[in-house]
Structures are given as structure tokens and as C-alpha cells.
Amino acid sequence: MKYDLLPEAKKLSMPALMVVGSEDASTPLEHQKILFDALPGRKEFHVIAGSGHTFRAEKHIAELRQIFIKWIGKL
């Protein structure tokens, strides 16, 4: 509650990629979706099923890697 990024989100002009974990207890998926919706322009949102706030399991890291590769390929 100390930092509110929403008023500043509309100022971003670069492409944005958000990759979040479905089990993130510190930053709930609903809150991350609110920030994503506030971003202007070219953006993409992915949820890694079963992951928390950080991606530590090999299968989550592999999925994250594939998301990055596809994202970079689109730029």
C-alpha cells in the first residue's frame, strides 16, 4: 500500500511483458491484472500455473524461458 504504480503506468511507452505466478501470495493475480490493464500500448500477460512470486521450479523456469523467447521474437 506504500507504493501506487497505477497513476504512472500510463506514462510507459515501451512494450511490456508481465509474467506472473498463479500462486503468488505476496502480489495477488487480481492486483497484477489491474496494473497490466493500466499499461498502454503493446503488452502481453502470462500466468505460470503453480508458481509463486518467484520462479524456482525447473518446469516454471522452462516455461518462462519459452515466453521470453517468443516475446523477443515478436519485437
Residue 64: per-residue pLDDT: 97
Domain assignment present for 52: yes
Q: What is the pLDDT of residue 29?
A: 93
Residue range 54-69, pLDDT digits in tens: 999 999 999 999 999 9
pLDDT digits (tens, 9 = 90+) for 5-55: 899 999 999 999 999 999 999 999 999 999 999 999 999 999 999 999 999
What is the per-residue pLDDT for 17?
97
Q: Give the count of domains, the chain.
A: 1
**36 CB-contact burial (10 Å; exposed 0-12 / middle 13-18 / buried 19+):** middle
Tell me the residue range of the domain where 30 lies. 17-74
| 3 domain-assigned | no
